Amino acid sequence: MKRAAIYLALSIFLAASSLFAARPLSTDDAGTVEKGKFETEISFDYCQYRPDGTCQAPGMAIKHGLTDLLDLGLGFSHSTDKDADGNTVGWGMSPLEVGFKLSLLKEQPKLPDISVSAGFETGSAGYGINLIFSREYGNLRLHYNLGYNASGETMVSGSFGTSLAVEYIFAEKFRICAELNGEINDDRSEVLGNSGLVGGSVTLGPVDWDLGIRIHDQRGPKTTITTGITAGF
């Protein structure tokens, strides 16, 4: 039962961590949704645990531009964990996640775009806050995130997370991307995990379809395959 609970917590975290990011990346970009517009993301993650077991985690998120500088997002995910024999050992829905992103600086010729985002899960005292830097060089885009996650529980430490991502756009509708992520306890006593992702997306009419493969260190699942569809309206 303990193992199942660990699997469930990991899989929900993996799905929820990228609900509001620039898929397939979990690194967010500094841009906000245009005022009065909506952006919807439907995602699906497949995880291979170590030494065995799998997880399937679909998720959905929607963001709305409240002003030219501020957007609001809602998201949730579901996960099903199975052992090596195909038996279900974990199953459940994540709490509703609420997120905000505020643009602090944008469209300056020699400076990066800067935003700050914050989010929380309903029913929990925990929260996350993230500082986002983005910079464009022609078809090349760079993003850096520095975040803090508070557990909301007494005597349970929070964590710092950092990620760096690069994107390249070619032929107008194709994008390839890669990123590195790391997380450490806020007292620096323990590294919680490191991972890297390679992937890309293609524009197919009114939607973008993305696909990525994430490799984790020994503190996380072995491999995660992530895919999704994003549409704006």
pLDDT per residue over 40-87, tens digit each?
999 999 999 988 899 999 999 999 999 999 999 999 999 999 998 889
| pLDDT tops 60 at residue 7 | no
Half-sphere exposure of residue 50: CA atoms within 13 angstroms, side-chain side? 10
CB 228 within 8 A of CB 44: yes
Q: How far apart are CA 29 and CA 108, in angstroms?
A: 16
Q: Dihedrals φ, ψ of 36, to 5°? A: 80, -5
Half-sphere exposure of residue 108: CA atoms within 13 angstroms, side-chain side? 12
Which of 166, 127, 167, 128 shows the shortest CA–CA distance to 146?
128
pLDDT of residue 19: 60
In which band, very low, low, confident or very high, does the pLDDT at 18 lie, cut at 50, 70 and 90? low
Cβ-based burial of 10 (10 A; exposed 0-12, middle 13-18, buried ≥19): buried
Of 26-35, 176-185, 187-196, the poorest mean pLDDT is in 187-196
| pLDDT tops 60 at residue 226 | yes
**pLDDT tens-digit readout, 138-181:** 999 999 999 999 988 887 889 999 999 999 999 989 999 999 99
Which of 49, 95, 52, 55 shows the shortest CA–CA distance to 76?
95
Please report, rounded to a whole number, the percentage of residues in the chain having pLDDT higher than 90: 77
Ordered by where they begin, the domains of the chain are 2-232 (2.40.160.40)
pLDDT of residue 187: 86
* Between 51 and 1, residue with greater pLDDT: 51
pLDDT of residue 202: 97
Q: Is 161 in a helix, a strand, or coil? A: strand
Q: Tell me the pLDDT of the chain averaged across its residues.
A: 90
| pLDDT tops 50 at residue 13 | no
pLDDT of residue 16: 42
Q: CB-based contacts of 21: which residues, under 8 Å, 6+ apart?
A: 27, 28, 29
pLDDT of residue 194: 95
Q: What is the pTM of this model?
A: 0.89
In which band, very low, low, confident or very high, does the pLDDT at 9 lie, cut at 50, 70 and 90? very low
